[in-house]
């Protein structure tokens, strides 16, 4: 039976991936640090580890899904974010290379830095990276340059991730305001938006990578079929049966869309923006 090591098992993303893949029949080793996972499942074993310190894991595993990360809310400084590359190096230095078949690394759209393009694809060059974006890009480079030939990789560059009680992104803040009957203020209201992915979609992408993708590749992740930003907001208002309370603000900031052409060519199960919004609602309607 295939065994998977999943880091960040106490986080929203990592926790959902653990639950999803356990239901699919995989044996799971979930590593957490501060947040203790509540899931109890016969196929899941949780281990408390600080990945920023030298690791001594005796268990072997076939796949590594690396979700654990320092994020901007932890303090977006070079010193804090240096932990991201340290954690990755520690994971790849443990004695597992005879068994490990693949690493799936969750990266971020922040590797592009200051975005001025109308459409972002995997060939878009980074510009003016902050410490978080640079740390993730350094991790990507380390994976590409240091992995042995027998170990393949999939790197997923994530946009705003939503799910139950998600936070720290535009859509999650928007949802909070709608539920609290506050006015929602947005810029670039008529621009098209697909900078969102539901955590369930991430789990499905990972399963697809394990089962079907034998290539070494980096993919931008987002929803397909972009929708005007003001219409996205109105959809959420209506789903929660709230009166639309929206103010459009003028801004010189440019908006962008994320191209899904590359990931869809590999038949990854990307869903539409409207479907992502509906799943977001369903996760938080209570």
| 56 & 152 share domain | yes
64's tokens: 């590594």
- Residue 63, domain extent: 3-161+195-220
Which CATH number belongs to the domain containing residue 232 in this structure?
Answer: 3.90.25
Domain membership flag for residue 266: no
State pLDDT tens for residues 52-73: 998 888 788 999 999 999 999 9
Domain membership flag for residue 260: no
| 200 & 151 share domain | yes
| 134 & 235 share domain | no
Task: Output the pTM of the full model.
Answer: 0.95
Q: What is the pLDDT along the chain (286 residues), one digit of tens a residue?
A: 799 999 999 999 999 999 999 999 999 999 999 888 888 889 999 999 999 998 888 788 999 999 999 999 999 999 999 999 999 999 988 765 568 899 999 999 999 999 989 999 999 999 999 999 999 999 999 999 887 667 899 999 999 999 998 888 889 999 999 999 999 999 999 999 999 999 999 999 999 999 999 999 999 999 999 999 999 999 999 999 999 999 998 877 778 999 999 999 999 999 999 999 999 999 998 7
Interatomic CA distance for residues 28 and 22, integer angstroms: 6
- Is residue 205 within 8 A of residue 268, CB to CB? The reply is yes
Interatomic CA distance for residues 13 and 32, integer angstroms: 12
| 73 & 144 share domain | yes
Domain membership flag for residue 148: yes
pLDDT at residue number 95: 64
| 136 & 59 share domain | yes
Tally: H helices and E strands in the chain: 8, 15
| 38 & 69 share domain | yes
Domain membership flag for residue 12: yes
Angle between helices 229-239 and 273-284 (to 10 degrees): 30
| 110 & 239 share domain | no
pLDDT at residue number 148: 64
Domain membership flag for residue 28: yes
Domain membership flag for residue 11: yes
Which CATH number belongs to the domain containing residue 50 in this structure?
Answer: 3.40.50.720
State pLDDT tens for residues 256-266: 999 999 999 99
Structural domains counted in the chain: 2
Tell how far CA 85 is from the center of its chain: 17
| 246 & 200 share domain | no
Domain membership flag for residue 262: no
Domain membership flag for residue 110: yes
| 234 & 206 share domain | no
State pLDDT tens for residues 103-122: 999 999 999 999 989 999 99
């Amino acid at each position: 039976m295939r065994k998977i090591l999943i880091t960040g098992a106490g986080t929203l993303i990592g926790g959902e991936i653990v639950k999803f893949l356990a239901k699919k029949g995989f044996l799971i080793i979930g590593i957490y640090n501060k947040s203790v996972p509540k899931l109890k499942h016969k196929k899941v074993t949780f281990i408390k580890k600080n990945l920023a310190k030298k690791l001594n894991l005796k268990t072997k595993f076939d796949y590594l899904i690396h979700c654990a990360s320092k994020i901007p809310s932890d303090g977006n400084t070079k010193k804090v974010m240096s932990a991201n590359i340290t954690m990755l190096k520690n994971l790849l230095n443990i004695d597992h290379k005879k068994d490990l078949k693949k690493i799936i690394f969750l990266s971020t759209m922040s590797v592009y830095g200051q975005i001025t393009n109308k459409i972002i694809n995997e060939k878009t060059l980074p510009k003016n990276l902050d410490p978080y974006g640079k740390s993730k890009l350094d991790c990507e480079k380390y994976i590409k340059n240091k992995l042995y030939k027998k170990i393949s990789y999939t790197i997923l560059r994530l946009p705003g991730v939503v799910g139950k009680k998600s936070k720290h992104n535009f859509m999650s803040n928007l949802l909070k305001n709608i539920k609290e009957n506050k006015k929602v203020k947005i810029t670039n209201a008529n621009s098209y938006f697909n900078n969102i992915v539901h955590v369930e979609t991430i789990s499905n992408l990972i399963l697809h990578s394990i089962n079907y993708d034998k290539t070494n590749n980096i993919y931008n992740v987002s929803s397909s079929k972009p929708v005007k930003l003001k219409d996205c907001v109105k959809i959420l208002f209506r789903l929660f049966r709230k009166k639309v309370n929206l103010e459009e603000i003028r801004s010189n900031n440019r908006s962008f869309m994320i191209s899904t052409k590359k990931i869809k060519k590999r038949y990854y199960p990307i869903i539409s923006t409207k479907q992502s919004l509906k799943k977001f609602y369903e996760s938080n309607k209570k």
